[in-house]
A and B are shown apart, each in its own frame.
Chain A
Amino acid sequence: MTATTSPAAAPDTPSPLADVTRDEASLRRFLHGLPGVDQVGVEQRAAGLATRSIKKEAKRWAIDTAVSMVDLTTLEGADTRGKVRGLAAKAMRPDPERQDCPRVAAVCVYPDLVETAVEALAGSGVRVASVATGFPAGRTSREVKLADTRLAVEAGADEIDMVIDRGAFLEGRYRQVFDEIREIKAACGTAHLKVILETGELATYDNARRASWLALLAGGDFIKTSTGKVSPAATLPVTHVMLQAVHDWHERTGELRGVKPAGGIRTTKDAIKYLVAVHEVAGEQWLTPDLFRFGASSLLNDLLLQRRTQVDGHYSGPDYVTVD
């Protein structure tokens, strides 16, 4: 990253875009000056790409890649340490009877269960991601959001999934949203930051594009579609818009940032459609857990069932995957 000469600009913003974040007015002009997204057009492109037929070796590769991209998630009021330990075991060994099955990318939990997850996953290579900043609604004070983040970071989280303030965004207070992301990023230390846009609440693709750019400007390592607590959660078209954003960001700045669709991705068929989108919209470079994740819980079992079908040569059944 090149250093900027403008003192008022965010120090992390690459210099071609430094002036853009100088103040509220500049930020608004930049975001509102981005090209619009035609709803019918983007939905048609997403539907067209979804007809790609991925077979044989390509399908096996896609299933294994998808498994390795899963952020295995539990975000329930009723989560216990036992539940988290069970999930961690599954994350490390998704298919106990198939040693060649890859492990998932991360386990994703609430901040007060990070300690349990870290202990359970120690030495496995599976990362610990934590939601933070008053997830899922994000309707609380800056201090509370920062404290929430520090709780997770100090307990050992490798990754933080924060939520943006949708109220502020919809009011047009972009600079406030930007500053909040930067502060959370600073509180992350070495942990990676995923910025949840909650695209279902932003409602339009234009907003999804603007929020994506806002999060990238503010230093988010990943942009994430949803909390999974609001419907609609991840969709193919909105993910297209976000993949286009990271692609364009890379063209502009040379930096690679990631995308994570979360919520509502339940089947292998769906997951493969997302991988095709990554491949053809962002580019081959993004086909790695370092730059693409699935926020999911039930998806993993369907991936495992389809993996068995590919390997064993016949359709599998739910008794052959674990419930954890």
Chain B
Amino acid sequence: MSDRISVAKTYKLYLGGKFPRSESGRVYPVTDAKGAFLANAAHASRKDLRDAVSAARKAFPGWSSATAYNRGQVLYRVAEVMEGRRAQFATEVAACEGIAAKKAESIVDAAIDRWVWYAGWTDKIASVLGAANPVAGPYFSFTVPEPTGVVGVLAPQSSSLLGLVTVLAPVLASGSTAVLVSSAERPLPAITLSEVLATSDVPAGTANILTGHAAELGPWLASHADVNALDPTGATPADRVTLAQEAAGTVKRVLSVPDTEPDWTAEPDLSRLRRYLEAKTVWHPLGV
């Protein structure tokens, strides 16, 4: 009795709620840490990026105007579905990052818990970052944090799942929508995460995940006039400077990131959430 032949998965882009191939038709081989072939990943082009930004913009009004409670429910559902695919994620992370199964499992657990942490923020951000302003006059003045819009993210090159979740979840938790370029050499967990997003009530276009090269796509993301903020984590330190300069052309909010990838297991602070929020202050007089 011969061994069963497995049905190999095709890895495609996640764009506008669907899984298309790159419009360029390009792919590139993805190997494991030892160099063995894993799959051909779609090689996203600038036109894919353009389409992703368009999808993210289209999804923004719906996602940002959903109640914070509703966003929290959707993000928690993502965690539930991730938990269901724990074994699959662990296998992919172990292969991509060349680590032992047990370590890969603990990374997956941390990624799921990270997602839950962010899900619990959606309906608390306003209480923590907003305020009633004690102005010197007969006015009621309050400040609320509002999502900035479309956020472009270059995901970390090394941490294929935990780092990915840590850079993506805050975008969605803030109420913004995302266009994310995955790690070039370790993209597979990103596509499996896309499958989770696609089956977890996340509206189409809210998150768009492109497999490809940060060096190629970064500049198009940074200069795109319809992208409001940029997380340049996945770019090299030198490229980050160029990207920040490009981003200045449209006054994007650019996240400051350390030169090397941090320890992603540490609990994050609020800096990513804050970067993707605008403070809106409203005044109204009090009087009969």
**A touches B in complex, CB < 8 A:** no
Which residues on B are within 8 Å of A, measured CB to CB?
A: none
